[in-house]
A and B are shown apart, each in its own frame.
Chain A
Amino acid sequence: MSEVKYTKDHEWLNVDGDTAWIGITTYARHALGDLVFIELPEAGRAVSKGDDFAVVESVKAASEIYTPVTGEITEVNETLADDMDALKEDIATGWIVKVKMTDACEIAGLMDKAAYDEYVAGLE
């Protein structure tokens, strides 16, 4: 059974056992505007909570995407490089990386869907 968690930086994590699929939320996608390029990491990279692991470029600016969990990037969604439209809140196709987590406790502090929706509502 997987569960979906959310961060204050507008990432979603689909947590399945010790693996987290990480992507960005609809709110983030909208805030970033027209995206033109994504810089993806290499599989095998070790990341710590708070590290940036990918960069999305809009016409005007670059924005980093941070991992809320520590572990190793086991898989990268290379299809995003050619199809930026796929980068969205869709667990099947919109994930950026899969991270094999080394500290499962890190997800305990993240929000569930209801808490995240409330958080976003408070921003508007």
Chain B
Amino acid sequence: MKKTPLHAVHMDLKAKMAEFAGYDMPIQYSEGVMAEHNWTRESCGLFDVSHMGQITIEGEGVTEFLEKLTPSSLSVLKNNKAKYTVLTNEEGGMVDDLIVTRLSDDKFFAVINAGCKDKDLTWMKSHLPQGLMIVHYEARALIALQGPKAEQVLKEALDIDASDLGYMEYMDFGRCWVSRLGYTGEDGFEISLPEEDAVIGWNKLMAHDAVKPVGLAARDSLRLEMGYPLYGHDIDATTSPIEADIAWIMGKMSNTGFIGAKRIMDETIKGAKRKRVGIKVTGRGVPREGAEIFTLEGQKIGELTSGGFSPTLQAAIGQGYIETSFAKQGTPVLLRVRGRDIEGEIAAMPFVSAKTKKTLKKAA
């Protein structure tokens, strides 16, 4: 099994470890998922996400290349701005979801899912025009610092002043590449740093009173409260961005020449048959991925793709795909768990309001 540069630190912290995407990763630390989740919402959680892939793509024509691979209009993305998007396949499904950041006219930085790294690189290289270059930064760690105290912690622990950095903005601090974004709905940062700096950087952040380590279990419950999709579960090679209800990644739809555009354009006009929705459980129980969704009359209308307990709401929540005609908010549904039907309803996502920093208005 592969290890991140912080593996020994997790062992010292006596984390409960398990395999994730080929890596031996911390699932939770000593305080457990509930406390870690709440700490991230109240203070500041520290996550090792070094298993994720960090790449740059550069060369003349890189924007056009990425507008072929993704349905987003990246030509309007300014320098040092990040954007959430997806790699589409020929059928209009998704190869992966990712964050791309424009570093300059001819260079983008991207963070891709751990479990998709090999597939994504093969996919990108198979479409790569002459003159463009992809670099995979396997010797860099990635640490996420998430929570309302993240800006203060970054300043006090690492002497990085990010007060001028807006949401979805990137800044190069020499050895540290800092992006103000995350997967929790909180204000926070993802910090890319050379692997030889990872342990010292982690320990400096951990030494701050406001910081506690958070494992992948709470990372999942945090993202679930935000209604963020998890690749391989809530989105995959068969689901389109329209079905996944992330059409907003296409902006004003000025990009029409991307891979898989036909299905996605058709669905934009005609609508998709199924749609990703949030589900709030009102009955007793915790439906998980794979639970079938029924109408009150017993007609099967969909399936849950993620499910778990929300520590913030103290209720079970989930997301799944449902026939579009039943996707209206407030529609009552039944979720079948081990032969028992649990009541729920279609709910708006996010389940919990995001507290990400608003993009700062720059003085003229």
Interface residues of A (CB under 8 A from B): 33-34, 36-37, 39, 55, 57-62, 81
Name the residue on B nearest A81 (C-beta): B284
Interface residues of B (CB under 8 A from A): 27-28, 32-35, 37, 217-218, 220-221, 284-286, 288, 308-309, 311, 316, 338, 340
Name the residue on B nearest A31 (C-beta): B16
Pairwise interchain contact B285-A59, C-beta atoms closer than 8 A: no
Tell me the dominant secondary structure on chain B's binding face: mixed
Pairwise interchain contact B311-A37, C-beta atoms closer than 8 A: no
- Pick the contact of B221: A55, A57, A60, A81 (CB < 8 A): A60
Contact A39:B338 (CB < 8 A) given known A33-B32, A62-B288: yes
Name the residue on B nearest A61 (C-beta): B288
For A33, what are the chain B residues with a Cβ–Cβ distance below 8 Å? Answer: 28, 32-34
Pairwise interchain contact A59-B221, C-beta atoms closer than 8 A: yes
For A36, what are the chain B residues with a Cβ–Cβ distance below 8 Å? Answer: 286, 309, 316
* Subset of 25 A-B contacts with CB under 8 Å: A33-B28, A33-B32, A33-B33, A36-B286, A36-B309, A36-B316, A37-B285, A37-B286, A37-B309, A37-B316, A39-B285, A55-B338, A57-B285, A58-B33, A59-B34, A59-B37, A59-B217, A59-B218, A59-B221, A59-B308, A59-B309, A60-B217, A60-B308, A62-B288, A81-B284
For B35, what are the chain A residues with a Cβ–Cβ distance below 8 Å? Answer: 34
For A61, what are the chain B residues with a Cβ–Cβ distance below 8 Å? Answer: 288
Name the residue on A nearest B34 (C-beta): A34
Name the residue on A nearest B35 (C-beta): A34
A122 to chain B, nearest CB (A): 18
